[in-house]
Structure 1
Amino acid sequence: MSDQPGDGDVRLRLKVRQCVYGIAMVYIVLAIGLIILPGLFKRYSLVPDVVATYCFFVIGLASLCTYVNVTWLRRKFPFNWIVSCCSAACLALGTVSILSSQRAAHVLLVSLEILVMMALLLLVGSFLLADCPTIAYLFLTWFIFVVFSCVLMAAVCVHVPDLIYSYEVATHFVLWQVMCPLIVFQAQVISGYWENLPPILDMPLCSTMLLLDFLACYIFLDSADEVGFEFYYAGQTSNQKFLARSLKSQWDMFVDSK
């Protein structure tokens, strides 16, 4: 029996997804190992290191920007893989350098949350409703996700005993509400739904971008308790009044100085 029309596209999409997600998973697992590593050497103050952070991020982002904008480099094997791996390594090491020593259990728990949510959103972005414009599907899934997550967030926060922990929980939900359209969009591009072929020549780049998503989410969630506390602090009436008085005082000083 001959293949039905479109079977080739389906197989190509599946192949690209498997390669991109597989490579990204390798990058992410190695990054998790690097994040755990400094915590195993507690006798030595390895992190955080400001100089190393700047160096790794500058090198990683510069090489990534060069890689993205130089077309022949993205298409030329094995240079595309070499640059992609170098960028991924620098970004991962930069993330390790900016964080304090991490407990293995904490790293694995946060990483599990990120991987589960990324897998869910990538899965959603891998499908497309019949006769539905890609951008309409993107906003529809985002709307449904926001509504569902808000309901779930409210249900969870009601049962949290301390108000300050409610802000920390809300921080997690807000992050995924923001990341939802980005990750779904990436999945659509990888699947070739934006009037493009599946990016078979840009698989290293797509995998690196997924690693970047993971690292950004990890840094944010690692500080979720601090972010939640700041929102909790700013939400107190007494603190708001104090802030208003401080701003008014600063404004009066600015006006008087003229």
Structure 2
Amino acid sequence: MGEPPRGLPQTVRGYYLQVYGATLAFIVVSVAMVHIVGQARADPAERDNIAAAVFFVLAFVSFCIYVNVMWLRRHFPYNWASCCAIALMLILGNAFILIGQDEEDLLVVLEIICLMALFLLLGSWVPSRFSAFLFMGFVWLIVTVLTISILLIIWACNEGDNDLPLYIVHCVLWCFMCPMLMFEGQVINGLLWNFKPIFDIPICSVLLLINYLACYAYVDATQDIIFALEIASSSNKRVLARGFANM
């Protein structure tokens, strides 16, 4: 057998180190950029929506072009340079769309990283008696049952706790992350089609970064989600209905 093309990992360990190492580096840069942009603003509570939209549009257009240019995807170091540029645009867009963060938000970062590591690890192995999709569904069912059980225990032990909606938001995150990350873990490990996307290591890292940014943005919007749910509650609907009837 000939040697792998230049720029590709020579071993399976090198393959995983490149995929997950690059993803972790992107996440660290993202966390730093959020705090740098927040500190640079005159008002940390302001969002620069226009700059964020520009960076996100440029990133996704560039990503679509990159995915369809096979020559670029298969030539080192151009593939890594392209994906790092795309990741940087995504990171900047995320930093401009978020308001100023504090030290407590680092706990959210650790939560998401730990969940990503757990579900990617589960996606890297499939028992011999299960198909990849069946195992993913089985694990997702267990995670969902455990999540609902935890919520019920919290609700029973803390009646009237105002933090219950916060726990619900986080538990919904766990349930949605499970099948998504397990699927990507199975693809990265070649368990679905018996083919490791060895040429697409930079793409795998960018996709995992997108997952992290989406999960972080979701948790960051917790208060907005809770406020929207309160507005949509049945009691508020009745109040609004009486208000419109009296107009």
TM-score over 0.5 for the pair = yes
Q: Residues 238, 59 of structure 1: CA spacing in aligned structure 2 closer, same or farther, 3 A cutoff?
A: same
Quote the Cα distance in structure 2 between the aligned partners of 1:121 and 1:88: 22
Match of 1:216 in 2: 214
1:1-258 mapped onto 2 (5 Å cutoff) = 13-41=12-40, 43=42, 47-103=46-102, 105-160=103-158, 162-235=160-233, 237-242=234-239
> Does the 8 A contact of 1:125 with 1:184 survive in 2?
yes
Deviations 1:108-162 (A, max 9, x none): 1110111111111111111111131111111111111111111112222334464
Q: Residues 188, 38 of structure 1: CA spacing in aligned structure 2 closer, same or farther, 3 A cutoff?
A: same
Q: Residues 238, 23 of structure 1: CA spacing in aligned structure 2 closer, same or farther, 3 A cutoff?
A: same
> Does the 8 A contact of 1:142 with 1:181 survive in 2?
yes
Quote the Cα distance in structure 1 between the aligned partners of 2:208 and 2:163: 29
Amino acid paired to 2:86: S
> Does the 8 A contact of 1:74 with 1:202 survive in 2?
yes
Q: Residues 247, 71 of structure 1: CA spacing in aligned structure 2 closer, same or farther, 3 A cutoff?
A: farther
1:194 Cα deviation after fit: 0.9
Amino acid paired to 2:173: L
Q: Residues 243, 188 of structure 1: CA spacing in aligned structure 2 closer, same or farther, 3 A cutoff?
A: farther
1:62 Cα deviation after fit: 0.7
Deviations 1:59-93 (A, max 9, x none): 11111111122222211212111110011000010
The answer to which of 205-214 and 42-51 deviates more is: 42-51
1:165 Cα deviation after fit: 1.9
Unaligned runs of 5+ in 1: 1-10, 250-258
Match of 1:6 in 2: none
Amino acid paired to 1:89: L
Unaligned runs of 5+ in 2: 1-9
Amino acid paired to 2:88: A
Question: What is the number of equivalent residue pairs in this alignment?
Answer: 237
Amino acid paired to 2:230: Y
Quote the Cα distance in structure 2 between the aligned partners of 1:92 and 1:160: 38
The answer to which of 183-192 and 62-71 deviates more is: 62-71
> Does the 8 A contact of 1:142 with 1:180 survive in 2?
yes
Amino acid paired to 2:116: M
Quote the Cα distance in structure 2 between the aligned partners of 1:14 and 1:220: 32
Amino acid paired to 1:172: H
Q: Residues 69, 154 of structure 1: CA spacing in aligned structure 2 closer, same or farther, 3 A cutoff?
A: farther
Deviations 1:168-218 (A, max 9, x none): 210111122112111100000010001232222111100011110110111
Quote the Cα distance in structure 2 between the aligned partners of 1:72 and 1:248: 64
TM-score when normalising by structure 2: 0.87
Amino acid paired to 2:34: I
Q: Residues 233, 162 of structure 1: CA spacing in aligned structure 2 closer, same or farther, 3 A cutoff?
A: farther
> Does the 8 A contact of 1:84 with 1:205 survive in 2?
yes
Q: CA RMSD in A?
A: 2.4
Choose between structure 1 and 2: higher helix proportion.
1
Q: Residues 247, 181 of structure 1: CA spacing in aligned structure 2 closer, same or farther, 3 A cutoff?
A: farther
> Does the 8 A contact of 1:126 with 1:187 survive in 2?
yes
